[in-house]
Structure 1
Amino acid sequence: MARTGLKRAGAGLGLMLGAALAGCSAPADSNAAVGVAQAAVPPAPPAPPAAAATPGAVVFTDNDQAGEAKRAFSYIWPAAVSAVPALTGRFSAERDGLLAGQKADWAEALREFAGSDCAGCVMRDFQKEWAVVADLPRFLSLSASFYEYTGGAHGNGAHDALVWDREAEAALDPKAMFTTPAALQDALGAAWCKALKAQRQERLGDGYSDDGFFQCPAIADLTVLVGSSDKRSFNRIGLLAAPYVAGSYAEGTYEVTLPVTPAVLAAVKPAYRAAFTTAK
């Protein structure tokens, strides 16, 4: 606004100066003087169109407190999701449903444990954050980590995955890109179990045993991610085993990345095969 005001003031000053020059000149000279003044001050160029705002990452939080009782909630997604209105709508609906559920659960806990000294009984926490795994011309591959605490000794964490198909304008589970669970198991199972065993031995040391309670879980029990090292095609597969899936809570999440091999490529559905290549 200040800049606009400055332009108007300058124009008014020019008119006053032109009138003063006209009062001191003959009619012919006056016309010439005005012409010179007009030629000396070219019209201002039109303002460039405003650039469209680039959608950014969304960090949503909703927290509350009642005395010592606390409720915390956060749901985050990256800018790549904000650029897809249908995906934004999907995540917004999930977020709103989760938040409503947490609020109702917390309100019930406040009533049930009113006057109790059980601090953990009236604490609630939920966190979910989406991240980009791979952004290809047709597909946007996403992963999510989330944590929930609803009382007790500790909360629980897990993982989620989604692929957005820009051509179909639809979301799908990465596992749905493969022909059958059995085909995916045959293609990845042996390499997954070998890598998992190595990681568990490293974390547990002498406490590791092949005869332990946790055996190598099937690929169907894992979170499957489709990734890319070249941003042109999917050439690697991520496998995530949340706590209690492949090990105890204390062991945390196990994550293994495997290359797309000819066997993996053969397990991809024909409709999606063009988006995959074997790792170099």
Structure 2
Amino acid sequence: MSLSRSFKAAILLGAAVSVLAACNRGEEETAAPPAIPAGPSAAPASTAPLAYESENAFANVKLTLPEAVKGQPDLHKALYDASVKDLQTFVEGAQADRTEAGGDGGLPPYEKQVTFDTPVDTGKLFGLTTSAYEFTGGAHGNTAYSTVLWDKALKRRIDLNALLRPGADRAALDRMLCAALNVEKKVRDPQAAVLTLGEPKPGSYWSCPGLAETAVGLAPSTTPGKAGGLTFLIGPYVAGPYAEGAYRIDLPQAQIRALLNPAYADEFAGAPPKRPATT
């Protein structure tokens, strides 16, 4: 069964781009934010829902947000509104696609689940990781990963550029990520081939993804109220076959501290808690 042209476009765009783009604009700005007291935000908690769910004959969709996002009302509302709109568009596309095809061909309803989790709350920053699972037929669904980085004082989303100091050696961060990824691959499969940056080695389909291809967010910390480092989300098919699964790589702040923007460096301390290699 073929997807309608409009529904194909919606899938290619993906939930991560639509949700994060709706949060804010001007991500490249790296100016130091106004000083604010350390600790959790004192802003009134948001009253927006933490969940949305809809099921019909064409598609089942679901949104899940963590309780912690209520402390950032502007962000909470933006994420909820944009996510619900995206899910409703998905349902409309599923209905149009199956109507155009003249029936469902015995296939189950399409499915989409958007989950925001792993909140990290520091004095100046609030972070989330995002997974968007889609099933539109075939052997299995696909999951896209993204992150949210929110400056609590400026009340806007920022990106990795803001967290890194001007002139930071991004190539060094690429190498750190590649080395850590190879360690995780060996944990899952001791016979796994070592990946390198750039084009895949002869006879291989895979190489280490660079920062431009990777969702980067805040890692939790063993020190309350701080980020333990940076988290890198690498989806299936990026660094290995689908069966190998996704990777969530944490680089400790001690390892990357020289690269951090002084405006945000104090938001990092401790280390990421140990987690299973397969997450």
TM-score, normalised relative to structure 1: 0.68
CA distance in 1, matches of 2:45, 2:205: 53
Residues 132/203 of structure 1: CA separation in 2 closer, same or farther (3 Å cut): closer
Cα drift, residue 115 of structure 1: 4.2
Task: Report the counterpart of residue 80 of structure 1 in structure 2.
Answer: 68
- 2:234 paired with 1:245: no
- 2:131 paired with 1:145: yes
**Structural mapping, 1:36-55, within 5 Å:** none
Moved more, 139-148 or 266-275: 266-275
Moved more, 78-87 or 109-118: 109-118
Cα drift, residue 181 of structure 1: 9.2
Q: Deviations over 1:6-49 (max 9, x none)?
A: xxxxxxxxxxxxxxxxxxxxxxxxxxxxxxxxxxxxxxxxxxxx
Task: Report the counterpart of residue 93 of structure 1 in structure 2.
Answer: 81
Secondary structure at the residue paired with 2:262? coil
CA distance in 2, matches of 1:55, 1:136: 22
Cα drift, residue 169 of structure 1: 1.4
Moved more, 166-175 or 77-86: 166-175
Instruction: Give the number of aligned pairs.
Output: 221
Residues 147/175 of structure 1: CA separation in 2 closer, same or farther (3 Å cut): farther
1:162 maps to a residue whose letter is: V
By percentage of residues, which structure has more helix? 1
CA distance in 2, matches of 1:95, 1:116: 26
Is the CA contact 1:177–1:268 (under 8 Å) kept in the aligned structure 2?
yes
Task: Report the counterpart of residue 142 of structure 2 in structure 1.
Answer: 156
TM-score, normalised relative to structure 2: 0.69
**Structural mapping, 1:246-265, within 5 Å:** 246-261=239-254, 264-265=256-257
Cα drift, residue 270 of structure 1: 3.3
Is the CA contact 1:260–1:279 (under 8 Å) kept in the aligned structure 2?
yes
- 2:160 paired with 1:170: no
Task: Report the counterpart of residue 178 of structure 2 in structure 1.
Answer: 193
Task: Report the counterpart of residue 60 of structure 1 in structure 2.
Answer: 52
Is the CA contact 1:161–1:173 (under 8 Å) kept in the aligned structure 2?
no
Residues 58/196 of structure 1: CA separation in 2 closer, same or farther (3 Å cut): same
Q: Deviations over 1:216-267 (max 9, x none)?
A: 11123112122222123333221221112211211111122121136x2232
Task: Report the counterpart of residue 268 of structure 1 in structure 2.
Answer: 260
1:226 counterpart (193, 215, 218)? 218
2:239 maps to a residue whose letter is: A
Residue segments in structure 1 that go unaligned for 5+ positions in a row: 1-51
Secondary structure at the residue paired with 2:180? helix
Cα drift, residue 114 of structure 1: 1.6
CA distance in 1, matches of 2:104, 2:61: 23
Residues 154/176 of structure 1: CA separation in 2 closer, same or farther (3 Å cut): farther
Residues 93/53 of structure 1: CA separation in 2 closer, same or farther (3 Å cut): closer
CA distance in 2, matches of 1:259, 1:182: 17
Cα drift, residue 191 of structure 1: 3.0
CA distance in 2, matches of 1:118, 1:219: 41
CA distance in 1, matches of 2:48, 2:100: 41
Cα drift, residue 194 of structure 1: 2.1
CA distance in 1, matches of 2:188, 2:205: 16
CA distance in 2, matches of 1:277, 1:158: 29
2:134 maps to a residue whose letter is: E
Secondary structure at the residue paired with 2:162? helix
Q: Which has the higher contact order (CA 8 A, sep 6+)?
A: 2
CA distance in 2, matches of 1:102, 1:274: 41
1:198 maps to a residue whose letter is: V
Cα RMSD, aligned residues only: 2.9
CA distance in 1, matches of 2:48, 2:99: 39
Cα drift, residue 53 of structure 1: 9.1
Is the CA contact 1:73–1:125 (under 8 Å) kept in the aligned structure 2?
yes
